[in-house]
C-alpha cells in the first residue's frame, strides 16, 4: 500500500503496517521524533494501523501537537508517581499547558519539600519504560464502572454526550480516563522537573473544592530542560510586572483592579507605538474614528454580543435605560457606517479606531498588562465587495509583517475555523468566510496552521502568534471575516448596476491589546528599549557643579533635536550616577568634565557600559537621529 507523507512524497508500506512501522522505516528513532501520528487529519497513537492512500504526519517534539502529546503523557507519569506515594489521592485532570503540564489532585496535601520525592518517583516510572496502551470503553456505563471510586472522573464521564466515545490509557499499574493520543512508550522522556505546587478549584469554579495542583515539565533531551530552566530565570528578570513599575512605566492599584495606570515615561512609549501605527494607517488609506465608550444594551442585543458575551460585560443603568461599557469597538463602527450612503466606488472602506474597551475578567485571571479589564485595541473594520477579500487580507498580512519585524518579533499564523456550538450565521456564510481567509493565506505564501473549531462566534479568523526574545509565544494580532454583523445591522452599498448590496466586513487588530503588546515589549527588550521608543534616551552627567551650565546647554540642544534628555544634578559620585543611568536603561550617557567643557565635546558611554570617549555634539546627533528615524534595533555605536 502507498502512504502519503507530510512533504507530499509517497512511500510504499506492507499491508497491515502501523504508524510505528512507518516511523521505523523512516528511521525516526530519536526521543524527539515520531511521538504520535496524524492520519487523515486525526491525531492517533503510533500503534494505529495504516491503509492504502492514508495521509500521515509523524509529530515531533518541535511541533505544537508533538509537545501537547509529550506533555499529556507526562502528566499521567506525574499522576502515577503521586499515587504510588499517596495511594489515597484522587487524580482529577492533567492537561498540557504552555511550557509543560499540571495535574490536579483531591485528597492530597503536599508542600514544596515533598516535590523532590515525587520527582524521584516520576523518574523511576519513566525508567520502567511502560507502553501506553489505549483501552476503548464500549459504553458510558463501562467507563463509570471503571472509575467508580473516583467521584471527579465520574462527574467528567457523566458530562459527556451519550454517544461520545470514551477511552482510557494504561501504563503499568496506572489507568486514567483520556482521549489520547499518547507516546508509544515512556522511554522518550529523557529529562523532567517538577516546578511548583499550588491550589486550584475543581473545574475552575471557586464554589467547588480546592485541589492540589502540581506543575512539571519534561523533555526528550536533558539539554532542552537546562535551556528551559535558564529561560525561566531570564523571564523572572524581565517580568513586566516588576520592570514596569521599577522603570516608572506603569502601575497597578487595588482601587482599579485590572485597569493599569500608564506613567509619563510609559506614555512616551505608548505614544510612539500609536504614532507608528497611525503612520501605517495613513499609508494604507485608513480613516480613523472614535466611538462612545457607553452604548445602549439594545445595540449589543442587535449585534449578538449580549447573548454570547454577556458574562464579560460591565453594565450600568441611567434614567431607566440599560447601557454597556463597550467590550469591543465593532457595533459602534457599524453605527458609523450606517450614518452615510455608500457607493461601490468607496469600497474597500477602511475604518480604524484605537478604542478603550472593558471586559470583566475574574480577579484570579488578571495578570499585569497581559490580561486587563480595561485596555485599548487598535481595531479596524474594512467594508468591501466579495472580490476585494483576498487582496484586503493580504494587505493586512503585509501590515502585520512590517509591524512585528520592526520589533524583531518572529511570528506564526493560525487559521481558526467555526466552533462546534454557539455560532451565528449560515453554513454558506461560514464556508465563504473560511475559504476567503484560506485563499488569502495561500496567496500570501507563508506557512500557517489550521486550528479547528477555535474561531469567533461570528466568523473564522487568522491569529498571529508572536515569538519574543525568550522564545515564548503570545497571541496578538487577529484578522476576522464577518458577514453576520453587516446583515444584523442591515448595512448596504450601491453596486455598479444600481442595486443595493450587503458589504462583507473584515475585523482586524495588529497590536491586539495595546497594553498587552506594551507588556510583551517590556519583557522582549528586558526594559532596554530601542532609541526611537525609549523614554530615557540621553542623560548628561556633570563631574562637578562648575560643569552644569555647559551640560544644561547641551541638554537644550539635544532636546531641540527631538530627544528625551535630562541632566543628573544629584550630588552622587560620577560612578553612582552612571550606574543609576544604566539601571534606568538610558540609551546614551554623556559625561561632562573640565576636558569636555574646554574642547566643547562630550564623553560618550552606552548603557552596556562601553565607553566611546570624546565626541562632538553634531556628529553624535546625526548618528542618533538616523538611528531613531530608521527605528533601528541596535545603536550605531554598537558597531564600533
Catalytic center residues:
330, 359, 377, 379, 381, 461, 507
Please give the order of strands across the beta sheet that includes 42-44. Answer: 10-12, 2-5, 55-59, 36-39, 42-44
CB-CB neighbours of 623 under 10 Å: 15
Nearest alpha-carbon partner for 420 in 463, 455, 376: 455
User: Do residues 447 and 404 touch, judged by C-beta distance below 8 A?
Assistant: no
Sign of the CA dihedral with 578 first, then 580, 583, and 585 last: negative
> Whole-angstrom distance between the N-terminal and C-terminal Cα of the chain?
62
CB 556 within 8 A of CB 567: no
Cα 214 to Cα 202: distance, rounded to the nearest angstrom: 14
Handedness of CA 398, 400, 404, 409 (dihedral sign): negative
Q: How far apart are CA 19 and CA 463, in angstroms?
A: 31
State how far the Cα of 185 lies from the Cα of 171, in Å rounded to an integer.
9
DSSP code for 445: T
Length of the chain: 640
In sequence order, the 6+-apart residues with CB closer than 8 A to the CB of 7 are none
Residues 6+ apart with CB under 8 A from 379: 328, 329, 330, 333, 352, 353, 354, 355, 507, 508, 509
Dihedral Cα 237, 240, 246, 250, nearest 10 deg? 180
Residues 6+ apart with CB under 8 A from 513: 372, 375, 376, 377
420 CB neighbour count, 10 Å cutoff: 7
The three grid cell numbers given for residue 340, joined into one nine-digit string:
452615510
Place of cell 450606517: 338
**Cα–Cα distance, 57 to 61 (Å, whole number):** 13
DSSP character string of 277-298: HHHHHHHTT-EE----SEEEHH
Kindly tell me the sign of the dihedral angle through the C-alpha atoms of 429, 434, 439, 441. Answer: positive
Q: Is 411 helix (H, G, I), strand (E, B) or coil?
A: strand
Amino acid at each position: 500500500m502507498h502512504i502519503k507523507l507530510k512533504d507530499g512524497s509517497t512511500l510504499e508500506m506492507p499491508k497491515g503496517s502501523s504508524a510505528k512501522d512507518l516511523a521505523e522505516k523512516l528511521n525516526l528513532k530519536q526521543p524527539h521524533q515520531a511521538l504520535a501520528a496524524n492520519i487523515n487529519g486525526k491525531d492517533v497513537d503510533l500503534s494505529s494501523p495504516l491503509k492504502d492512500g492514508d495521509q500521515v504526519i509523524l509529530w515531533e517534539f518541535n511541533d505544537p501537537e508533538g509537545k501537547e502529546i509529550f506533555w499529556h503523557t507526562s502528566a499521567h507519569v506525574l499522576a502515577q508517581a503521586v499515587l504510588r506515594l499517596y495511594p489515597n489521592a484522587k487524580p482529577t485532570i492533567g492537561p498540557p499547558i504552555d511550557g509543560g503540564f499540571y495535574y490536579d489532585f483531591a485528597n492530597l496535601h503536599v508542600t514544596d519539600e515533598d516535590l523532590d520525592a515525587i520527582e524521584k518517583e516520576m523518574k523511576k516510572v519513566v525508567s520502567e519504560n511502560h507502553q501506553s496502551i489505549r483501552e476503548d470503553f464500549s459504553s458510558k456505563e463501562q467507563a463509570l464502572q471503571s472509575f467508580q471510586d473516583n467521584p471527579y472522573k465520574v462527574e467528567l464521564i457523566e458530562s459527556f454526550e451519550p454517544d461520545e466515545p470514551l477511552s482510557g490509557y494504561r501504563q503499568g499499574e496506572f489507568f486514567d480516563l483520556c482521549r489520547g493520543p499518547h507516546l508509544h512508550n515512556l522511554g522518550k522522556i529523557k529529562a523532567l522537573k517538577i516546578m511548583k505546587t499550588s491550589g486550584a478549584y475543581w473545574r475552575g469554579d471557586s464554589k467547588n473544592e480546592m485541589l492540589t495542583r502540581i506543575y512539571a515539565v519534561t523533555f526528550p533531551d536533558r539539554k532542552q530542560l537546562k535551556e528551559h530552566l535558564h529561560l525561566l530565570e531570564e523571564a523572572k528578570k524581565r517580568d513586566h510586572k516588576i520592570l514596569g513599575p521599577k522603570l516608572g512605566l506603569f502601575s497597578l492599584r487595588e482601587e482599579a483592579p485590572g485597569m493599569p495606570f500608564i506613567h509619563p515615561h510609559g506614555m512616551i512609549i505608548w505614544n510612539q507605538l500609536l504614532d507608528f501605527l497611525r503612520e501605517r494607517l495613513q499609508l494604507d488609506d485608513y480613516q480613523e474614528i472614535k466611538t462612545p465608550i457607553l452604548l445602549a444594551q439594545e445595540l449589543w442585543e442587535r449585534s449578538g454580543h449580549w447573548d454570547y458575551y454577556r458574562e464579560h460585560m460591565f453594565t450600568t443603568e441611567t434614567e431607566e435605560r440599560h447601557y454597556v461599557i463597550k467590550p469591543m469597538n465593532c457595533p459602534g463602527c457599524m453605527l458609523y457606517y450606517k450614518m452615510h450612503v455608500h457607493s461601490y466606488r468607496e469600497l474597500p472602506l477602511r475604518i480604524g479606531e484605537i478604542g478603550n474597551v472593558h471586559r470583566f475578567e475574574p480577579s484570579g485571571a488578571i495578570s499585569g498588562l497581559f490580561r486587563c479589564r480595561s485596555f485599548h485595541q487598535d481595531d479596524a473594520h474594512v467594508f468591501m465587495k466579495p472580490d476585494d477579500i483576498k487582496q484586503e487580507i493580504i494587505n493586512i498580512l503585509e501590515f502585520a509583517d512590517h509591524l512585528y519585524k520592526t520589533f524583531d518579533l518572529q511570528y506564526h499564523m493560525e487559521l481558526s475555523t467555526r466552533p462546534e456550538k454557539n455560532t451565528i450565521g449560515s453554513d454558506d456564510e461560514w464556508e465563504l468566510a473560511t475559504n476567503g481567509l484560506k485563499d488569502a493565506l495561500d496567496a500570501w505564501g507563508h506557512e500557517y496552521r489550521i486550528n479547528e473549531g477555535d474561531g469567533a462566534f461570528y466568523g473564522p479568523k487568522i491569529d498571529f502568534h508572536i515569538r519574543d526574545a525568550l522564545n515564548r509565544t503570545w497571541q496578538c494580532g487577529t484578522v476576522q471575516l464577518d458577514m453576520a454583523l453587516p446583515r444584523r445591522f442591515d448595512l448596504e452599498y450601491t453596486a455598479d448596476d444600481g442595486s443595493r448590496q450587503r458589504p462583507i466586513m473584515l475585523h482586524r487588530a495588529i497590536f491586539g491589546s495595546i497594553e498587552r503588546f506594551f507588556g510583551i515589549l517590556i519583557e522582549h527588550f528586558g526594559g532596554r528599549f530601542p532609541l526611537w521608543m525609549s523614554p530615557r534616551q540621553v542623560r548628561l552627567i556633570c563631574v562637578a557643579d562648575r560643569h552644569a551650565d555647559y551640560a544644561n546647554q547641551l541638554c537644550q540642544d539635544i532636546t531641540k533635536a527631538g530627544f528625551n534628555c535630562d541632566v543628573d544634578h544629584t550630588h552622587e559620585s560620577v560612578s553612582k550616577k552612571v550606574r543609576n543611568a544604566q539601571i534606568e536603561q538610558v540609551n546614551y550617557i554623556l559625561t561632562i568634565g573640565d576636558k569636555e567643557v574646554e574642547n566643547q565635546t562630550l564623553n560618550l558611554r552606552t548603557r552596556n557600559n562601553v565607553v566611546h570617549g570624546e565626541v562632538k555634539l553634531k556628529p553624535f546627533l546625526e548618528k542618533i537621529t538616523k538611528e531613531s528615524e530608521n527605528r533601528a534595533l541596535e545603536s550605531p555605536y554598537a558597531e564600533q
